[in-house]
Amino acid sequence: MSDAAQPTAAEVRASVEALKSALDHHLEVVERRARGTRGAAADAAVNAAYDDLAAAGEAYDALLYGAYDEVTPFEIPGGESAHGYLGPDEPTALSVYMRRDYTVSDPLRLLAQAQRVTDLDPDAVDPSEGDADTPGSSVHAALGVLFGEFEPDELATRHKEFGLTEGDSTLWVVADDEPAEPGEWLDQPFDGADPERVVCRYDISTVFDDEDTEDIEDTEDTEDIDADDADDADADAAPGAGQGAARRGAGGYGAGGGESEDDAAVSAR
């Protein structure tokens, strides 16, 4: 950055004063709502103060860096969920949204299972499909039979039996202002999945397993370094004693046929 483009000390000082004012205002509206002035207007005031505080913090951080090559230790969360829950304080109606992904990894097993269901229960086949599209010969028809015959939770538990591989899944519990009328949302069932009205959600994904593995590997690296440092210290203190310690450090949980550290961590989870 050139000298001409650098913020002045006065600009940085004015920015930090604006940040202080934004902090005071944010605390004021939060305290006001906590004292009992609740409702949509109070929530909107807190959200607006949050946005103002975030903007003031980002502006000060940028000016501070531009003038002095320094930053603050604060990070402004982004994304759709920055404001958190904005639904009713006491929900009287709830909607549950669920998504589970699968891949058809073994079509022959899928077709065989659908045919077995059809043989035991001929009514499981939709008569409108006709004879050309039978569960034993069409993946499309087989999926219709299996998902029509078994509950979603049973399919999730037995997915391998049906030639399916499980992917990511999520379940959202969303607060509604009032119960929906019968048939009201059937044409567009997922339009009401508002992230800001989510009471709770549960996600399953292999990406979380990858993160856990990275954490385990980081822990292993740290332990290896600590073990090496300890071995060096033992070697310096008592020649000959450190050799056995080095073998123990290198062998770790895997030495002597014991449980590996990875297996121990996975079992603990």
Q: Is residue 81 part of a domain?
A: no
Task: Report DSSP state, residue 180.
Answer: P
Q: Which of 147, 141, 149 is nearest to 100 (CA)?
A: 147
For residue 247, give Cα distances in angstroms to 192, 250, 255. 60, 5, 9
Q: What pLDDT is recorded for position 222?
A: 58
Q: What pLDDT is recorded for position 173?
A: 92
Write phi, then psi, for 243 (nearest 5 degrees). -65, -45
Asked if 26 and 58 sit in the same domain, the reply is yes
Q: What is the pLDDT of residues 251-262, one digit of tens each?
A: 332 333 343 333
Asked if 19 and 108 sit in the same domain, the reply is no
Three-state DSSP at 158 gives: coil
Q: Is 198 left (phi over 0), alpha (psi -120 to 50) or beta?
A: beta
Q: What pLDDT is recorded for position 160?
A: 94
Q: Which of 203, 202, 195, 191 is nearest to 175 (CA)?
A: 195
Asked if 129 and 53 sit in the same domain, the reply is no
Q: What pLDDT is recorded for position 170?
A: 93
Asked if 136 and 153 sit in the same domain, the reply is yes
Last residue of a domain, one of 155, 171, 204: 204
Q: Is residue 74 part of a domain?
A: no
Last residue of a domain, one of 18, 53, 68: 68
Q: What pLDDT is recorded for position 216?
A: 64
Q: Is residue 83 part of a domain?
A: no
Q: How many structural domains is the chain composed of?
A: 3
Asked if 99 and 195 sit in the same domain, the reply is yes
Work out the angle at residue 207's Cα, subtended by the Cα atoms of residues 204 and 210, and round it to the nearest 5 degrees: 125
Q: What pLDDT is recorded for position 228?
A: 59
- In whole angstroms, what is the distance from residue 229 CA to residue 106 CA? 51
Q: Is residue 196 part of a domain?
A: yes
Q: What pLDDT is recorded for position 167?
A: 93
Q: Is residue 86 part of a domain?
A: no
Number of CB atoms found within 10 A of residue 163's CB: 22
Asked if 17 and 118 sit in the same domain, the reply is no
- Which token pair is 58? 């980002």
Q: What is the pLDDT of residues 115-158, one digit of tens each?
A: 999 888 877 666 555 554 677 788 999 999 999 999 999 999 99
- Residue 29 near residue 46, CB atoms below 8 Å: yes
Residue 175 CB burial class (10 angstroms; 0-12, 13-18, ≥19): buried
Asked if 196 and 238 sit in the same domain, the reply is no
CA atoms within 13 A on the CB side of 117: 24
Q: What pLDDT is recorded for position 80?
A: 47
Q: Which structural domain range is residue 55 located in?
A: 3-68
Asked if 103 and 182 sit in the same domain, the reply is yes
Asked if 184 and 107 sit in the same domain, the reply is yes
Mean pLDDT, 10 residues at a time, the chain of 269 residues: 73 95 94 80 86 92 91 70 71 92 95 91 64 73 92 92 94 90 92 86 84 61 58 49 32 35 33
Asked if 126 and 165 sit in the same domain, the reply is yes
User: pTM of this prediction?
Assistant: 0.48
Asked if 243 and 193 sit in the same domain, the reply is no
Asked if 107 and 157 sit in the same domain, the reply is yes
Residue 36 CB burial class (10 angstroms; 0-12, 13-18, ≥19): exposed
- Which token pair is 98? 């669920």
Residue 194: its H or E element: none
- Residue 149 near residue 125, CB atoms below 8 Å: no
